[in-house]
Amino acid sequence: MSLEPLRKKIDSFDSKIVYMLNERAKLSKQIGEAKLKDQISIYSPAREKKVLNHLRTLNKGPISKEALEAIYREIMSSSLSLEKPLRIASLGTQGSFTYIAARKKFGSQVEYVSCRNIPEVFQRVEQGDCDYGVAPVENSVEGAVTDTFDLLVDSELKICSQVLQKISHYLLSKERSLKNIRKIHSNPQVFGQCRSWLSQNLPKADLIMEASTTQAAEIATKQKYSAAIASREAGEIYNLNILEDNLQDIAHNTTRFLIIAKGDAPATGKDRTTILFSIKDKMGALHAMLSPFLQYKINLTKIESRPSKKKAWDYYFFVDFEGHRLDKNVMKALAKLEVMCKYLKVVGSYPVLE
C-alpha cells in the first residue's frame, strides 16, 4: 500500500483516539466529583496498579510495555488534574532525580513544588500545602538516605506508594575540558555513587556538598572552573556542557523514592508494609522481635537501623515486609511485636508495582 492511504488510516485512528480520550476524561471528572463527595483521596496507588497490570495483559505489541505505560502515565496524569488540581512536593527543581522520579509517577499534568531539602518535602505535605511528597529513601549503591528515615520517625505522614528510578550521572560545566575543573558540586549520595570515578579522574578537585543536584547545576553556571554532577536533564535546563557521562561506579544504579501522604493505600493482594520499632535493652531482644514474622510466615525484605538520637546506643529499626497492615497474619504478627517492643509504628502499606 502506498504512503497516502496509510496516512489516511492513521488520521482515522487519531480521530477515534481523541474522541475516546475525551470520553474517558468525562468519566474521570465524574469519578473526581464522587471522590470529593465521599472524601476519598484523588490519587489511588491501588487503582494505578490495577490499570497498569490490565494494560500489560491487553498489550500484544508492537508497542513495548514501557512505551505503553509512558503513554498511559500521561493519560492518568491528565485524569488526575481533571479530578482535582494536585500539588506534588519534590526535592530540587526540574531536572533533579527526585523530580524525574515524581514525573515518572504522576506525569506532567500536575503541579510540582520544588523543595530545598527533604524536611521541606515533609513539611509541605504535613501543612496541607501539597497533596503528596516524593523523597529518596535508599540507593542500590550507597544505601539509606538518612534524612528520610529520620523524618519518618516523628512525622505522621504515611508511605502510600514508591517508585524506582535508574540513575545516570553526568559531569556538567560551563568549562569545556576536565583539566579546568577545580570544584565539583553535588549532594553527598551522588558523590558516594561516583567515588571511584572521581578519585581516578579528578583526585585534586574539591567536592562541595549541596542539598540537591539541581542546586549544584545552578552553581556551576555561575562559577568559573566549577562542575556539577547531575542528570542530563539538568544540563539541558541550565545550558551546561556534558564533560563526561555515566560517572556512577556501578552500572545498575537505582534509587528508591517514597510517595508520602496523610494516609497509606488499601490492600491490593500484592503489597509491602514498612514499620519502625525500638527494642528493650536486653540479650536477644532483636532476635525476639523478628520471631512473630517467622511464626506467621511473613517475608521480610529489608531491615535498617537508625540511632534514636535520644539516648546513646539506642536505635530504631525500620523493617519492610510483604503484605498489607490489614492482612490477618500481618495484624497478628504486629500485635505480638507491639507487646515485646518499647515503641512500634506502622509507617505505611502500599502496592508493589510489577
Strand 226-230 with 343-351, pairing: unpaired
Identify whether the C-beta of residue 49 lies closer than 8 Å to the C-beta of residue 162.
no
Per-residue CA distances from 158 to 11, 22, 239, 241 (Å): 46, 34, 37, 40
**Catalytic residue among 93, 98, 213, 255, which?**
255
Residue 259: Cβ within 10 Å count = 26
Grid cell 506502622 — which residue? 346
Identify whether the C-beta of residue 160 lies closer than 8 Å to the C-beta of residue 350.
yes
With CA atoms as reference, report the closest residue to 223 among 170, 172, 174, 178: 174
Q: Name residue 204's amino acid.
A: K
- Locate 14 and state its grid cell: 487519531
**CA–CA separation, 92 vs 105, rounded Å?**
16
**Catalytic residue among 191, 257, 293, 321, which?**
257
- Locate 225 and state its grid cell: 572552573
Buried b (16+ CB within 10 A) or exposed e, 175-206: beeeeebebbbbbebbbebbeebbeeebeebe
Helix, strand or coil, per DSSP, at residue 254: strand
Is 255 marked active-site?
yes
**CA–CA separation, 121 vs 291, rounded Å?**
35
Cis (ω within 30 of 0) for the bond into 62?
yes
Helix, strand or coil, per DSSP, at residue 277: strand
Per-residue CA distances from 107 to 25, 166, 238, 285 (Å): 16, 17, 22, 45
- The catalytic site residues sit at 255, 257
